[in-house]
Amino acid sequence: MVVEDGSIAEELADFFVEITAIFLIYSYSFLPKRMAFNRLFTSSKK
């Protein structure tokens, strides 16, 4: 595999985009569960 000038930057950019997308997906899928859990917790505390 030959690494040309600039291809490392492209690889890093693709990697960063993938990491950001995964992070966003995880945070978006986690937030509703956490909100529901907090609602459940506060309602059960009353």
C-alpha triplet 7, 12, 15: angle, nearest 5°: 125
pLDDT at residue 19, as a whole number: 96
Q: Which residues, 6+ apart, have CB-to-CB distance to 41 below 8 Å?
A: none
In angstroms, rounded to a whole number, what is the distance separating the alpha carbons of residues 38 and 44? Answer: 10
**Residue 6 DSSP code:** T
Q: What is the pLDDT of residues 5-45, one digit of tens each?
A: 678 889 999 999 999 999 988 887 777 777 777 787 777 76
* Percent composition of the chain: helix, strand, coil (DSSP 3-state, to 5): 85, 0, 15
pLDDT at residue 22, as a whole number: 92
